[in-house]
Amino acid sequence: MNPMDDLELETLAVRAGIARSQFNEHSEALYLTSSFVFESAAQAAARFSGEEEGNVYARFTNPTVTAMQQRLAALEGAEACVATASGMAAIMSTVMALLSAGDHIVASHGLFGATQQLFGNILSRFGITTTFVPATDLDAYRAAVTPTTKLFFVESPSNPLTELVDVAAVAAVAHEAGALLAVDNCFCSPALQQPLKLGADLVIHSATKYLDGQGRVLGGAVCGSRVLVNEVFKFLRTAGPCISPFNAWVILKGLETLKIRMAAQSSSALELARWLEAQPQVARVFYPGLESHPQHVLAQRQQSSGGAIVSFEVKGGRAEAWRVVDATQVVSITANLGDTKTTLTHPASTTHGRISPEAREAAGIRESLLRLAVGLEAVDDLKADLARGLALI
């Protein structure tokens, strides 16, 4: 048995994946090297054939990347993990490794914009089709299955409306259809939700968000069984969208504070959500940690807190929403999320701006909607920052 198996997430976050070099360094070393030397021709041959384990070339493995992979696998409760250049590289590599022309994907509505583009406009050119279904409608997942369905792909909670997918229930539907379930766990991170324990086969991350948590680097990862992750690894080492050792090192260190960051940011988000609900200029608040959220019970079962993303509609339309954005002096006006710095976005004119107004309305993304990705500032400063704009409505 691995001595790490019994440890809690907080301990794994700072201890898992450490392999010290000959110098016995305490902090995790950063190996900025693209290739590795061998002691003999025989060793080179053995490494290349796979007879002997070890590093060959950084497109395949690098010790810093390996450390990050092991640490994230430990946090997700996964047998294995492979890191990628970005979250999108993780999604693309998963599909390229596990699907072929003629295969079909069932995906939840409200996926990250680039994921929707990838599934809807790019994979379709290579004969891989996708049916999008409402995230909360189990019958729709069932009805979308075809004889060629190989993969279910969901995100929970969804962006920006925080709709939850019942991961255990959708896993059962996927498995009944002989398909795999992949969950993009970007919004919760393993600190709040471990999809593999709920029955998912693969967990996908944009490490760019909460795993780094400080807005410094791009990265991604795929976690799951050794067999599935090895398939993704084989694609990656050949096709090349692998992570740089430097980015892996930044994320490795980011993971150390993941749990306390997520706890603090979620607790601030809950306080802000409650406060927003009480403001007369606010029409509606979307946050899984609120009793008013339609899936609050599922959120309590599936996540250890409501997370750090709060969306809300102001009374009025675009003009009123923009007034709140423009009156801020503390929060950052940006479409990114998962940072220690709070960010504020108007989805209808930015992240969801290229969707037709009708489709946007159908998706429930109104002109009056704002998305707040809560960081580590004092909650009172954030309230005051939002109150400035709300007072102008």
Could you list the residues that contact ligand PLP (CB under 6 A)? 86-88, 112, 114-115, 155, 184, 186, 206, 208-209, 218, 220
- Least distance in Å: CB of 173 to ligand PLP? 21
Q: Where are the beta strands (DSSP E) in the chain?
A: 80-84, 104-108, 129-133, 149-155, 180-184, 202-206, 220-224, 282-286, 309-314, 332-333, 343-345, 369-373
- Can you list the alpha helix ranges (DSSP code H) found in 278-378? 296-302, 318-327, 357-362
- Least distance in Å: CB of 87 to ligand PLP? 2
Cα angle 9, 299, 371; round to 5: 95
Which residue is closest to ligand PLP by CB? 87
d(CA 241, CA 238): 9
Between 166 and 184, CB nearer to ligand PLP: 184
Between 241 and 316, CB nearer to ligand PLP: 241
Pairing between strand 282-286 and 343-345?
unpaired
- Least distance in Å: CB of 82 to ligand PLP? 15
- Which residues face 129 on adjacent strands? 104
Q: What is the residue type of 240? A: G
d(CA 88, CA 98): 16
Q: What is the residue type of 27? A: S
Between 61 and 108, CB nearer to ligand PLP: 108
Between 107 and 186, CB nearer to ligand PLP: 186
* Per-residue tokens: 170: 């959708």
- Least distance in Å: CB of 276 to ligand PLP? 22
Between 166 and 212, CB nearer to ligand PLP: 212
Between 63 and 220, CB nearer to ligand PLP: 220
- Least distance in Å: CB of 171 to ligand PLP? 19
Q: Can you say whether the dihedral through the CA atoms of 85, 90, 96, 101 is positive or negative?
A: negative
- Least distance in Å: CB of 207 to ligand PLP? 7
